[in-house]
Structure 1
Amino acid sequence: MKRWTLIGMLLVLLINTGCWDRKEINDIGLVMGTGLDLEDNGNIKATLQIAVPAPSSQVAGGTTGTEKFFLISAVGKNGIDFNQKIQQKMSRTLFFSHRSIILVGEDLARKGLNDILDMFNRNPRNRLKTYILVVKGKKAGDMLHFEYPYELAPSEALKEMELLWGAGTVVTLRDFLIASASEGTYPTTGVLEPTLYRRSGKKGEDKMFRINGTAVFKSGKLIDFLNNAETHQLLWFKDNKRTDKITVDMPGGKGNVGFIITSSKYKINTDAKRNPLKFHVDLKANGNLFENNSSLDVTDPGNLEIVKKVIENRVKQDMEAFLSKIQTRYKTDIVGFGQQLQRDNPKKWRTVEKQWDQYFAAAEVSVSVNINISNTGAIGPPLHLKDKEIVK
């Protein structure tokens, strides 16, 4: 009797197991990207970019048109409010697990993101690996309207652009949340801005977008933007300087050279014995000379040393200008000086952490640079120069 009872229990378990909460593909609307903008009344407008099913006469609900995505919007006080309003317009359940991009309009970013971040990390359907960018000078929802020639949807193009170009500016929700909650540093994101391109066989120009610069946050609010050149200095501290390119002018207007970094590292040394605090930034990089538009024969060790010094001086000057800006203008440590001080001297950190912005702004920072040129290419001087024009 016990045997048959056990068999019956097993049969019941088998019948009732399985993906009880699964969603069929025909029942869900795949959200590819989200744009968030601040309305005049303080509410938030959310624009979702949703994939359109591939056309097929065999699949019910498919489209016979050529649309790859459609946009749907709603205004609400918070995430649950506007998502509920959008869901009321949908014939399928909103599905956020495949979302790759979250765009935040500049106005909303300046007001602050603290009131909306919780909606992204509390719901397990939201991926913390989703990229987050700030849209400069335009509504985030408008950017999702722009078609991109190479990809199915703007959100897919942005994801690929982040992976391809945005090495230092790539910031996921996870990265942003960790930096926001960390002591001694502040978060940053990549910046998206509109641009134009000309389509073959068509008059006029079409709208497009590009990733350009870095958005700097403090206490959850956007305070300002770093330009492209300043962003390249930030890359040193993000361990993403590899493949970055540096172009420098030679002294006396004698052309320019191009250098590509193959590996880099940095070190921040702290001196907390007295006030103001002192920091020294040591930058090292290996790389190759990929362009020589000067008259120097770089196979000559003396000329190669000249090029090396010019590159080092340029990097040093740019880094000093970048650090001075975030110290004196922003008073915002996005590099991690505070974190390094916390590791090196926890006791000193405890005395300055509550006023770290002021201590950081007043700190003395020095920079040293060591560049190693591993490869100068297959030729020395440019081939188009005459022998008498070449400096050996």
Structure 2
Amino acid sequence: MKRKCTMLILLIVILLITTGCWNRRELNELAITMALGIDLTKDGKYVVTAQVVNPGEVAGKSSGATGSSPVIIFQETGKTIFEAIRKMTNSSPRSIYPSHLRMLVIGESLAKEGIGKPLDLLSRDWELRSDFFIVVAKGRNAEDILKIPTSLEKIPANKLFDALEVSEKAWAASSGYTLDELIKDMISDGKQPVLTGVRAELKGDKTSLAKQNVEMIDPHGRLYYQDLAVFDGEHLIGWLDEKQSRTYNAITNKVKSTVVNVKCPKGGNFVYQIIKSHAEVKGKIKNGEPKIDIKIRAEGNVGEIECNVELTKSESIAKLEKMIEKQSDAMFTKAVQQIQENKKVDIFGFGEVLHRADPKAWKTLKNDWDQKFEDLPVNIKVQAEIKRVGTVGNSFLEKIK
């Protein structure tokens, strides 16, 4: 009898843990959302724009495609973001499903008012992964960005995601920031967050943003990344220019590869193609005064040259390396000083470096760190190394001359 009771209990337990997906949802009941845009109206309400996949068009012609748009826009307004998303069911026949989100675009007006509330919803939503990129629509609303059809990639959200990955690997003036990275910087004592800006270039009237935009060799609507947005906590306070953005990425070790134009002494330029970069940031506090020392090591190749130099000689290579170091030192130093004077917030994480170097002294500094950051001495030293000069030695242009 005791054995039968034991077996019955085991069977009940097994049945309880093998009941299947009680809360399952079929794919044809979901609106797969690839991008979300969030804007703020003048009366303080949120406008949420969802870029949803049109599965019949993405699947291909063999699956019944009709030539319609591969994505559909749904948009609603609400006092809260959650309310606006739920109100989309008024027009969408399927539930908005953001688990495959690639891009979150924040309108510039909302970024200035504060991005804390939108991030709170996204950070606690169990349906969201945190690996999507967050960008700020520079000079526009987020909905303007999401409504532009793109070439090469059928789904505009994929275009934005892939373009940002390519840009940060090849140019170093932009970077992809995820939800976790952004929140970490927002709550840090010694670092303020930045986000990459996305811009829309429009030519002609808005009718050009219909289907024919992707059928033209020179589309009337283009999306491209430009500059970094600087935040003080949750509020957008300004933008970095291109040189300042590249300086930020170099100091924070976000440079994977880029190119640098270096002026030759007797006119012309040569291009230094960076293939590896690493910044070592050290800080110290002496008599209550902080100081930062930065050493940036770069390795690269000669990508293009107009200088009258003998590339087959080691002394010529050494001269080119010195030219790179001198110009880079000056550019980085100037960019950091401009950020200190104009933005007045520590986006580099110098405060975190000082905290690690001297936790006790940091407790005193952190209370008025923004003021200390403005006058913080920052010494930058670049060490450049040329690995290769290409498949030829001196330029054939010298022989032509």
TM-score, normalising length: structure 1:
0.91
Deviation, structure 1 residue 144: 0.7
Deviation, structure 1 residue 163: 1.5
Change (3 A) 1:281 1:13: same
Task: Tell me what 1:283 maps to.
Answer: 296
Does the residue aligned with 2:126 lie in a helix, a strand or coil? coil
Deviates more, 1:76-85 or 1:140-149: 76-85
Deviation, structure 1 residue 186: 0.6
Task: Tell me what 1:110 maps to.
Answer: 112
Contact 1:176 1:187 (C-alpha < 8 Å) held by counterparts: yes
Task: Tell me what 2:261 maps to.
Answer: 247
Deviation, structure 1 residue 25: 0.5
Match of 2:337 among 321, 324, 327: 324
Match of 1:68 among 49, 70, 80: 70
CA distance in 2, matches of 1:350, 1:275: 11
Change (3 A) 1:193 1:23: same
Deviation, structure 1 residue 11: 6.5
Structure 2's unaligned 5+ residue stretches are 204-211
CA distance in 2, matches of 1:140, 1:322: 29
Match of 1:149 among 143, 148, 151: 151
CA distance in 2, matches of 1:150, 1:331: 41
Contact 1:191 1:214 (C-alpha < 8 Å) held by counterparts: yes
Change (3 A) 1:69 1:301: same
Does the residue aligned with 1:264 lie in a helix, a strand or coil? strand
Match of 1:212 among 216, 226, 236: 226
Change (3 A) 1:9 1:56: farther
Task: Tell me what 1:45 maps to.
Answer: 47
Task: Tell me what 1:259 maps to.
Answer: 272
CA distance in 2, matches of 1:170, 1:142: 20
Deviation, structure 1 residue 164: 1.3
Deviation, structure 1 residue 264: 1.7
| Identity of matched residues, % | 27
Matched to 2:40, the amino acid is: L
Match of 1:77 among 66, 76, 79: 79
Task: Tell me what 2:314 maps to.
Answer: 301
Task: Tell me what 1:14 maps to.
Answer: 15
Does the residue aligned with 2:243 lie in a helix, a strand or coil? helix
Question: How well do the aligned residues superpose, as a CA RMSD in angstroms?
Answer: 2.5
Does the residue aligned with 2:266 lie in a helix, a strand or coil? helix
CA distance in 1, matches of 2:252, 2:216: 41
CA distance in 1, matches of 2:151, 2:392: 38
CA distance in 1, matches of 2:280, 2:12: 63
Does the residue aligned with 1:54 lie in a helix, a strand or coil? helix
Structure 1's unaligned 5+ residue stretches are none
Task: Tell me what 2:190 maps to.
Answer: 184
CA distance in 2, matches of 1:51, 1:216: 32
Deviates more, 1:318-327 or 1:273-282: 273-282
Contact 1:37 1:45 (C-alpha < 8 Å) held by counterparts: yes
Task: Tell me what 1:238 maps to.
Answer: 252
Structure 1 segment 107-186 matched on structure 2, within 5 A: 107-167=109-169, 168-186=174-192
Contact 1:286 1:374 (C-alpha < 8 Å) held by counterparts: yes
1:194 to 2:187 alignment: no
Deviation, structure 1 residue 213: 1.1
Change (3 A) 1:56 1:329: closer
CA distance in 2, matches of 1:20, 1:9: 21
CA distance in 2, matches of 1:56, 1:182: 42
Matched to 2:15, the amino acid is: L
Does the residue aligned with 1:209 lie in a helix, a strand or coil? strand
Does the residue aligned with 1:94 lie in a helix, a strand or coil? strand
Change (3 A) 1:56 1:80: closer
Match of 2:369 among 346, 356, 368: 356
Deviates more, 1:373-382 or 1:92-101: 373-382
Deviates more, 1:288-297 or 1:325-334: 288-297
Does the residue aligned with 1:91 lie in a helix, a strand or coil? coil
Deviates more, 1:156-165 or 1:235-244: 235-244
Change (3 A) 1:7 1:147: same
Change (3 A) 1:12 1:279: closer
Deviation, structure 1 residue 175: 0.7
Contact 1:166 1:211 (C-alpha < 8 Å) held by counterparts: no
Task: Tell me what 1:223 maps to.
Answer: 237
Does the residue aligned with 1:166 lie in a helix, a strand or coil? helix
CA distance in 1, matches of 2:283, 2:362: 11
Deviation, structure 1 residue 195: 2.2
Does the residue aligned with 1:259 lie in a helix, a strand or coil? strand
Change (3 A) 1:293 1:200: farther
Deviation, structure 1 residue 10: 1.9
Contact 1:56 1:64 (C-alpha < 8 Å) held by counterparts: no
CA-to-aligned-CA distance 1:170-210 (integer Å, 9 cap, x gap) = 10111101111111001111110012589798597510110
CA distance in 1, matches of 2:214, 2:43: 42
Matched to 1:187, the amino acid is: P
